[in-house]
């Protein structure tokens, strides 16, 4: 094993732990939403922890570059790991944003729960598939995410369009649902970015 | 070997031909034959100054070469673009030095050396019987691993040597060309006030830049560099690398290097040789970020070689 390999293995191990934590964080946040916005202080703690571990990964990446001047797949792994760690930290942050929105607006009671549950399901499926790609490096699986992301996008856009035409909608419902939907849409995007980074790491090209 | 010795003898003083150490003689012969310029040939100085130019300056086709029974290069085909730096990398013994030495017909000066295939400079086949190897070496200069200024000559005379052999007699012309080429080699600012000192008095990095100035003085079109920085410290290496980037604007540069990071830093194109075969060739950023061949990947990431 080359000296560089120990550092790369450390980074990959950290990413997988981050993915587990991000999954728990998003799940906790969404279950909190489903239960009508019970604030889960844990979501905030986990989100902060994800941010801290992203900082660690970035520091490790810079150290490995400075020490070993990695090239080819080594360089791609480091670049991708930095991006993926950032995406995972963002997942945690959006999870925390969701519980904040629900806390702020009527304790989450006003949100369109049926719509958000439907969207959450799709987003969680995407996130899990993305993490599967991260664990297995199976880039073919990642292709399914394209279709899924399109589905999440159209749900989100459809909801926004509906807001304009629905004059009877209360502000609390409209704002809390739209903001949570917005964060969910961003979570789906980052799940897709992670799969893209895995593709780049493994093949040197992004999925198109 | 013989015709080089002949040329050498006919152009130079007999004192040098009495040199005894065979290896030393060989190196000296090569350097001198490199700067011998035929008087009747008009010097064409290539100067497009266009970095985007991707015109092929040299083309190697199915080049196979070796020594005696040993095959060192096996069916190599590659092109070298004008106004670009091409790095040749690969583990020791992979044939990279032999490849560059074929590019200006220096390979054949070693006894038992043989070669087949073609090397074109522009459209001229440099192996064709009608091609004068001395003229080829004037157009395709070479800088070696170990800085080798003529030890008994001053800095000035080192650079002027090729011009004088060229028949340039006008001292003003010689002076101005010496200055111009010392400037090109980033040496003038450092030693312009002591150019009558011995070339051997310079630091290793300065000596190597002096050798580059000497190679440039005869106005080559292609500059070959065989491990030009392997004997230099990091700051001297950085200066040579900066110089290479300048040279690229006016010349076609081919560099052989063991130092993959150097290839990554300075070159536009990289060729990876392994066991005499060309494994992969492409833009440097592609080779170092996403090589196509597993062998290339394993070599540049330090898994072998």
Residue A80's pLDDT is 97
Span B166-181, pLDDT tens digits: 788 999 999 999 999 9
Tell whether B147 is covered by a domain.
yes
**For chain B, how long is the longest CA-to-CA vector?**
57
A72–B300 CB contact, under 8 Å: yes
Distance CA B29, CA A79 (A): 50
Residue B4 has pLDDT above 50, yes or no: no
Note whether A76 contacts B: Cβ–Cβ < 8 A.
yes
Q: What is the CATH number of the domain that holds B280?
A: 3.40.50.300
Tell whether B158 is covered by a domain.
yes
Distance (Å) from the C-alpha of residue A74 to the closest C-alpha of chain B? 7
Query: Quick one: angle between helices B22-35 and B155-165, nearest 10?
Result: 60
Span B231-288, pLDDT tens digits: 889 999 999 999 999 999 999 999 999 999 999 999 999 999 999 999 999 999 999 9
Distance CA B282, CA B275 (A): 19
Q: Which residue of B has its CA nearest to A71?
A: B288
Residue A21's pLDDT is 98
Tell whether B76 is covered by a domain.
yes
Distance (Å) from the C-alpha of residue B286 to the closest C-alpha of chain A? 8
Interface test with A, best of B272, B284, B286, B300 (most A CBs within 10 A): B300
Span B187-217, pLDDT tens digits: 999 999 999 999 999 999 999 999 999 999 9
Tell whether B249 is covered by a domain.
yes
B35 — pLDDT class (breaks 50, 70, 90): very low
CA angle B162, B166, B168 (to 5 degrees): 100
Residue B34's pLDDT is 40
Interface test with B, best of A68, A72, A80 (most B CBs within 10 A): A72
What tokens appear for B51 in the block? 């970095």
Tell whether B227 is covered by a domain.
yes
Residue A34's pLDDT is 67
B226 — pLDDT class (breaks 50, 70, 90): very high
Q: Write out chain B residues lying below 8 Å of A74, CB-based.
A: 301
Distance CA A151, CA B183 (A): 64
Interface test with A, best of B289, B291, B297, B303 (most A CBs within 10 A): B289
* In chain A, % of residues over pLDDT 70: 97
- The DSSP output letter for B36 is -
Tell whether B131 is covered by a domain.
yes
Residue A19 has pLDDT above 60, yes or no: yes
Average pLDDT over residues B96-110: 95
Residue A72 Ramachandran class (φ > 0 left, ψ -120 to 50 alpha, else beta): left
Distance (Å) from the C-alpha of residue A25 to the closest C-alpha of chain B? 34
Distance CA A20, CA B3 (A): 74
Q: Can you list the domains of chain A with their CATH numbers?
A: 3-203 (1.20.58.220)
Tell whether B90 is covered by a domain.
yes
Residue B257's pLDDT is 95
CB-nearest to B289 from A4, A69, A76 is: A76
* In chain B, % of residues over pLDDT 70: 83
Note whether A7 contacts B: Cβ–Cβ < 8 A.
no
Q: Torsion over CA of A55, A58, A60 and A64, rounded to 10 degrees?
A: -170
Distances in Å between the Cα of A66 and the Cα atoms of A78, A204, B235 are 12, 22, 18
Residue B105's pLDDT is 95
Distance CA A157, CA B184 (A): 62
Question: The tokens 């040939």 sit on which residue?
Answer: B41
Residue A4 has pLDDT above 60, yes or no: yes
Distance CA A131, CA B286 (A): 28
Residue A37's pLDDT is 55
Tell whether B305 is covered by a domain.
no
B38 — pLDDT class (breaks 50, 70, 90): very low
What tokens appear for A43 in the block? 């979501």
Residue B14 has pLDDT above 90, yes or no: no
Distance (Å) from the C-alpha of residue A70 to the closest C-alpha of chain B? 7
CB-nearest to B291 from A69, A72, A205 is: A72
Q: Write out chain A residues lying below 8 Å of B297, CB-based.
A: 72-73
Residue B53's pLDDT is 53
Q: Count Cβ atoms below 10 Å from residue B203 Cβ, excluding itself.
A: 15
Residue B241's pLDDT is 95
Range of the domain at B66: 2-300
**Number of domains within chain B:** 1
Q: Write out chain A residues lying below 8 Å of B260, CB-based.
A: 71
Residue B36 has pLDDT above 80, yes or no: no
Distance CA B289, CA B190 (A): 37
B289–A72 CB contact, under 8 Å: yes
A94 — pLDDT class (breaks 50, 70, 90): very high
Note whether A70 contacts B: Cβ–Cβ < 8 A.
yes
Q: Which residue of B has its CA nearest to A77?
A: B289
Q: Torsion over CA of B15, B17, B18 and B23, rounded to 10 degrees?
A: 130
Q: Write out chain B residues lying below 8 Å of A2, CB-based.
A: 301-303
**Half-sphere exposure for B303 (CA within 13 Å, toward CB):** 12
Distances in Å between the Cα of B118 and the Cα atoms of A160, A204, B63, B99, B172 are 68, 35, 6, 12, 41
Interface test with B, best of A3, A8, A65, A71 (most B CBs within 10 A): A71
Q: Which residues pair with B64 in a beta bridge?
A: B116
The secondary structure of A24-58 as a DSSP string is HHHHHHHHHHHTT----HHHHHHHHHHHHHHHHHH
Residue B83's pLDDT is 96
Q: Which of B51, B47, B13 is nearest to B32 (CA)?
A: B13
């Amino acid at each position: 094993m080359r000296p560089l390999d120990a550092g790369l293995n450390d980074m990959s191990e950290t990413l997988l732990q981050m993915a587990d934590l991000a999954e728990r964080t998003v799940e906790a946040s969404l279950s909190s939403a489903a239960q009508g916005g019970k604030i889960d202080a844990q979501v905030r703690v986990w989100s902060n922890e994800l941010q801290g571990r992203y900082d660690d990964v970035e520091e490790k990446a810079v150290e490995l570059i400075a020490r070993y001047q990695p090239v080819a797949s080594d360089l791609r792994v480091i670049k991708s790991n930095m991006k993926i760690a950032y995406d995972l930290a963002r997942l945690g942050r959006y999870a925390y944003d969701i519980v904040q929105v629900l806390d702020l607006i009527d304790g989450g009671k006003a949100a369109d729960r049926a719509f958000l549950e439907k969207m959450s399901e799709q987003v969680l499926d995407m996130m899990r598939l993305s993490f599967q790609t991260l664990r297995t490096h199976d880039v073919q699986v990642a292709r399914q995410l394209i279709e899924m992301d399109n589905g999440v996008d159209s749900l989100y856009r459809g909801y926004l369009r509906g807001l304009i035409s629905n004059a009877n909608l209360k502000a609390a419902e409209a704002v809390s649902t739209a903001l949570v939907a917005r964060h969910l849409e961003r979570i789906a995007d980052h799940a897709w970015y992670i799969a893209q980074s895995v593709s780049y790491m493994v093949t040197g090209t992004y999925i198109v | 070997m013989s015709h080089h010795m002949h040329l050498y003898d006919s152009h130079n003083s007999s004192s040098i031909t009495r040199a005894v150490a065979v290896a030393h003689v060989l190196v000296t012969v090569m350097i001198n034959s490199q700067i011998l310029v035929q008087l009747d040939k008009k010097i064409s100085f290539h100067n497009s100054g266009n970095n985007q130019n991707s015109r092929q300056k040299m083309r190697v086709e199915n080049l196979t070469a070796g020594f005696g029974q040993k095959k060192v290069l096996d069916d190599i085909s590659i092109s070298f673009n004008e106004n670009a730096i091409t790095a040749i990398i690969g583990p020791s013994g992979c044939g990279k030095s032999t490849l560059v030495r074929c590019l200006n017909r220096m390979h054949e000066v070693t006894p038992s050396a043989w070669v087949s295939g073609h090397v074109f400079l522009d459209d001229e086949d440099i192996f064709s019987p009608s091609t004068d190897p001395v003229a080829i070496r004037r157009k395709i200069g070479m800088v070696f691993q170990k800085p080798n200024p003529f030890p008994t000559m001053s800095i000035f005379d080192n650079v002027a040597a090729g011009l004088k052999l060229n028949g340039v007699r006008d001292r003003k012309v010689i002076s101005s060309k010496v200055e111009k080429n010392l400037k090109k080699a980033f040496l003038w600012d450092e030693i312009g006030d002591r150019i009558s000192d011995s070339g051997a008095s310079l630091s290793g990095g300065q000596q190597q830049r002096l050798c580059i100035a000497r190679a440039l003085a005869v106005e080559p079109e292609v500059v070959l560099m065989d491990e030009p920085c392997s004997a230099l410290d990091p700051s001297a290496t950085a200066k040579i690398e900066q110089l290479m980037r300048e040279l690229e604007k006016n010349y076609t540069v081919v560099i052989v290097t063991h130092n993959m990071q150097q290839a990554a830093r300075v070159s536009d194109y990289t060729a990876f040789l392994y066991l005499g075969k060309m494994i992969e060739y492409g833009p440097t950023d592609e080779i170092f970020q996403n090589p196509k061949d597993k062998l290339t990947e394993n070599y540049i990431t330090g898994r072998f070689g």
